């Protein structure tokens, strides 16, 4: 279903002025605040040390698109904006789909097998400024967009298995790579790899909010 030129997301969490846990606008999935994460009019605030958001696990399979709006208070190269994957025994992580800082887009099949894009031509992160990020994933194409423009891609793509995935915002799946900054909202489209013109429209609308 298209609404004003865009498909309706399957999941959406808006953290601006939220009090308590935030319910998904389209399902019963809940975003839980951990480690002292708190919300203000801009969104959920992370301290770079222990605060993060944990989202109820859900089944992920096939093409998918993620949208997130983030502002950095300080810069750390591997600060994780968002991570989705499986926690394995002995602290291992597999099937990881992650955006780390705004310069890196990572898909790992295991700790020893991963694909990575270091985005080019984006300069340095501007602190206290909003960045709009969209990541799309389908067979043969993994793409990261920053502020409406393609920033990098992994041409070989990945094949997503039908698995229950853990998801966190503000850190990696492991207790590391904490984000010092703010996230306004987070949205997911299942079965859809958003087209570039849709990503540009999302960015234009994010600037109005």
What sign for the dihedral angle of Cα 18, 125, 77, 143? positive
Contact 141, 41 (CB under 8 A): no
Lowest mean pLDDT among 59-73, 105-119, 190-204: 105-119
pTM score: 0.89
C-alpha distances (whole Å) from 23 to each of 5, 14, 158 are 25, 9, 30
Backbone angles phi, psi at 202, to 5 degrees: -60, -45
Residue 95: closest CA among 176, 165, 2: 165
Residue 101: closest CA among 83, 85, 113, 84: 83
95 has pLDDT over 90: no
Query: Cα torsion for 95, 153, 7, 147, to the nearest 10°?
Result: 120
Lowest mean pLDDT among 20-24, 79-83, 153-157, 162-166: 153-157
Contact 122, 102 (CB under 8 A): yes
> To the nearest whole number, what is the mean pLDDT of the chain?
82
Each residue's pLDDT tens digit, 140-160: 677 888 899 988 777 655 555
Pairing of strands 130-138, 113-118: unpaired
Query: Cα torsion for 29, 56, 185, 111, to the nearest 10°?
Result: -150
Backbone angles phi, psi at 91, to 5 degrees: 75, 10
DSSP annotation of 127 reads: T
Using alpha carbons only, what angle is made at residue 127 by residues 125 and 133, rounded to the nearest 5 degrees? 55
């Amino acid at each position: 279903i298209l609404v004003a030129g865009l498909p309706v997301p399957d999941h959406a969490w808006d953290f601006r002025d939220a009090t308590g846990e935030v319910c998904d606008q389209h399902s019963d999935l809940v975003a839980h605040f951990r480690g002292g994460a708190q919300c203000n009019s801009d969104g959920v605030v992370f301290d770079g040390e222990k605060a993060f958001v944990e989202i109820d696990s859900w089944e992920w399979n096939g093409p998918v698109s993620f949208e997130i709006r983030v502002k950095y208070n300080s810069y750390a190269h591997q600060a994780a904006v968002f991570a989705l994957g499986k926690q394995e025994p002995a602290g291992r992580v597999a099937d990881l789909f992650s955006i780390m800082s705004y310069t890196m887009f990572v898909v790992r099949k295991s700790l020893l097998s991963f694909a990575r894009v270091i985005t080019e031509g984006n300069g340095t992160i501007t602190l206290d400024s909003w960045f709009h990020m969209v990541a799309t994933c389908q067979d043969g194409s993994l793409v990261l967009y920053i502020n409406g423009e393609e920033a990098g891609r992994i041409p070989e793509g990945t094949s997503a298995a039908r698995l229950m995935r853990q998801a966190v915002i503000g850190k990696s799946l492991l207790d590391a790579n904490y984000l010092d900054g703010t996230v306004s909202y987070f949205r997911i489209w299942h079965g859809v790899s958003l087209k570039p013109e849709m990503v540009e429209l999302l960015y234009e609308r994010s600037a109005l909010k």
